[in-house]
Amino acid sequence: MPVSALTRSRRALLAAAVVAATAAPLGGGPATAAPPDERQRQYAEAAAEYGVPEAVLLGVSYLESRWDTHAGTPSTSGGYGPLHLTDAAHVASGPAGFHVDEHEDPRGDESRPLAVAPPAVRPASDAPPAAATRTLPAAATLTGASADELRSDPAANIRGGAALLAAYQRDLGGPVGAASDPAAWYGAVARYSGADTEETATAFADEVYDQIRSGASRRTDDGHQVTLAARAVNPDASGLHRLDLRRAERPDGLECPIGLGCEWIPAPYEKYGPGAGDYGNHDLGNRPAQQKIEYIVIHDTEGYYGPSVGLVQRADYLGWHYTLRSVDGHVAQHVKAKDVGWQAGNWYVNAKSIGIEHEGFAGHGTWYTEAMYRTSAKLVRYLALRFNIPLDRQHIIGHDNVPGTVASTVAGMHWDPGPYWDWSHYFDLLRAPFRSTGTARTGLVTIDPDFATHRPAFQGCNQQPPGVPTPPPPAEPCPLRGSSAVVLHSAPSHDAPLVNDLGKRPDGSPDTMYISDHGARASAGQTYAVAEVSGDWTAIWYLGQKAWFHNPASARTAKWATGFVVTPRPGRATIPVYGRAYPEQAAYPAGVPYQTISPLQYTFAAGQRYALGGIVPSEYYRAVTFDGSSPGDWTVVRGELRYAQIQFGHRIMYVNLDDVLVLPSPLGAPR
């Protein structure tokens, strides 16, 4: 969801933590001078000191952070360091995150617009649950390390996590000792998750033990090689009941895969006023029988789990299908997949998508937890297989990939989950990794920078989003951190201005490095047609222009790809580009108002090519009253028109199939 102007006070309160982290020794690039086995030794020493099997300590840490330090910055649930010691009190004050800006229409349907008033500032009691998000103070007590050390020093953080695991094991009456059987630590691992439900604690512990069985080896974000040797282990879960966790509400029909910690917290479908349209916070549907589900939309909440779930339970607000909690990956389902959530700000996309909210912030300098990534990937894979949704970036999209409906709505569209969402790792977890399928002559590239080492110098992570055309000075630098986004220039040079997004800057001025200003970025997994190659630079067709990104042979930020492209039919100088694939006027039955086919402000000119994401039908789902009493309500209007979905900029868009040729990605592309 967006970062609205109402988040300013939270940004200010977070600024001190991020500035301190930026100045800490953990910031910047990998610590290449460090001994290669230093971090491994820190795990071994902490395990020996507190009597924890090293495999358990490494497994828990991997599921929390993949052993990364994140430059001492907090996660979206206030967790720090490789062991994700949580200190929410350090970052959790301030107003709630809001899903929409004032005067925004989250339905994205002018035939039934929804104006949502932002809720009042949340009380302090709505902060994240105390037990799960205040483990850092407990670790400080157990180890004698200061809170600052536990936040910024990886060795201290690892010791703190080991001390907590040992304390949990003692509380459960289990054996303690570095040589003890890892299988006997299941209950302590489950408790470490911070989960308040038995199902989610079980899911977390099962993930840890699966990781121990499969092993892992990787270089951390600060340059240390760490290895978890694979070993056979059959954990003893008999002590799980001693954690006295609640059982989640899992009624028949809950749409979650087996083994995931899910519960049903319904969004209300009910009237709240006298008008026919005074209802919320979603629409009834009959998907996929009535209309195919084409997309899964990845959001972040721009707030914490508790307040966000509170908002989706309001009939006068808006609804989405799932919310995921950061600290443990817990899932709450609110709307059935058959029904249409008001979540993406584009009614065509809403009617054909499932919306999943992830606890977190797109631009606060925080990071998304591994536990949440894994839960989300399991949920998305389950939904994709169930509804035949392709596991690619044309169909598993961010909210930042959803187009404006018409030219006037483009500037207000959202930019979450932001450049710090690790799309490449996410698709690895989906078991659909980004692979190179082409060569320098096949004409397409799939963006895929190395997340850990690719660190664009964004600005303004703790400031109000910029005005147009330029952000208010001074813009504080964001902490240097891994990013999925490559920055696009107007010429093959780091000194060249960024490209322009006419939807945000109609005066033609360049976009900026402001964190929320994403009109000059391409994201991992997105595929583009190559326009030109010059040395270490590659140009792609992007929003009607050539956009250059640094793509040196020594550190590729994109993979060569194959596929199909669209280009204007011969004789067409330009063709219109649309934000929705609506039917022609003749398709609408009597009583159902025609939804204008209105082009966006961009130009698709002859000679340009854009990657094809699929051929989609022209459809409009009519739903404007609570009881379906309006003519044509709860029906899908289908036309003869068909559209080609294309990767036109950072967002997907649509062109009339009659206006374009669909061609294989060309041989003899620019070299």
Read off the pLDDT of residues 254-300 as tens digits, 9 standing for 90 and up.
999 999 999 999 999 999 988 888 898 999 999 999 999 999 999 99
CA distances to 39, 247, 333, 351, 373 from 251, rounded to whole Å, are 45, 12, 11, 25, 25
Arithmetic mean of pLDDT over the chain:
89
Q: Cα 193 to chain center, whole Å? A: 21
Q: Which of 64-68, 126-130, 249-253, 361-365 has the weakest average pLDDT? A: 126-130
Q: Residue 561 pLDDT more than 90?
A: yes
Domains and CATH numbers, the chain: 31-92+127-243 (1.10.530), 567-664 (no CATH)
Q: Which of 44-53, 169-178, 363-372, 485-494 has the weakest average pLDDT? A: 363-372
Q: Residue 423 pLDDT more than 60?
A: yes
The rounded distance, in Å, linking the Cα atoms of 355 and 298 is 6
Place of tokens 């308040």: 196
**Host H or E run for residue 186:** helix 186-192
CA distances to 121, 346, 363, 409 from 417, rounded to whole Å, are 22, 17, 9, 19
The tens digit of pLDDT for each residue in 323-354 reads 999 999 999 999 999 999 999 999 999 999 99
- Residues paired with 638 in a beta bridge: 619
Q: What are phi and psi of 311, to 5 degrees?
A: -70, -40
| Cβ contacts of 275 within 8 Å, gap of 6 or more | none
The rounded distance, in Å, linking the Cα atoms of 157 and 506 is 48
Residue 671: band (very low, low, confident or very high) from pLDDT cuts 50, 70, 90: low
The tens digit of pLDDT for each residue in 85-139 reads 998 776 544 344 456 666 678 899 988 888 776 665 443 334 445 667 789 999 9
DSSP state of 583: P
Residue 485: band (very low, low, confident or very high) from pLDDT cuts 50, 70, 90: very high
The rounded distance, in Å, linking the Cα atoms of 11 and 2 is 13
pLDDT at 304: 86
Query: 431: how many CB neighbours lie within 10 A of its CB?
Result: 9
Query: 589: how many CB neighbours lie within 10 A of its CB?
Result: 10
Pairing of strands 295-300, 396-398: parallel
pLDDT at 366: 85
The rounded distance, in Å, linking the Cα atoms of 367 and 77 is 9
CA-only gyration radius of the chain, Å: 25
611, 528 contact by CB (below 8 A): yes
The rounded distance, in Å, linking the Cα atoms of 429 and 422 is 11
The rounded distance, in Å, linking the Cα atoms of 164 and 161 is 5
Torsion over CA of 303, 367, 3 and 319, rounded to 10 degrees?
-50
Query: 601: how many CB neighbours lie within 10 A of its CB?
Result: 17
- Is the bond preceding residue 469 a cis peptide, omega within 30 degrees? yes
Length of the chain: 671
pLDDT at 104: 78
Q: Letter for the amino acid at 518?
A: H
| Span 541-547, average pLDDT | 98
The tens digit of pLDDT for each residue in 377-403 reads 999 999 999 999 999 999 999 999 999
pLDDT at 99: 60
Share of the chain above pLDDT 70, in %: 87
pLDDT at 277: 86
Q: Residue 466 pLDDT more than 50?
A: no
Q: Residue 514 pLDDT more than 90?
A: yes
The rounded distance, in Å, linking the Cα atoms of 603 and 407 is 12
pLDDT at 111: 87
Q: Residue 53 pLDDT more than 60?
A: yes
CA distances to 44, 63, 204, 331, 508 from 193, rounded to whole Å, are 21, 9, 6, 14, 49
CA distances to 270, 410, 575, 600 from 506, rounded to whole Å, are 41, 11, 19, 12
The rounded distance, in Å, linking the Cα atoms of 379 and 396 is 12
Q: What is the DSSP string of 328-381?
A: T--EEE-S-TTSEES-SS-HHHHHTEEEEEESB-SSSS-B--HHHHHHHHHHHH
Place of tokens 């933590």: 17
Closest CA to 78 of 361, 452, 350, 480: 361
Q: Residue 5 pLDDT more than 80?
A: no
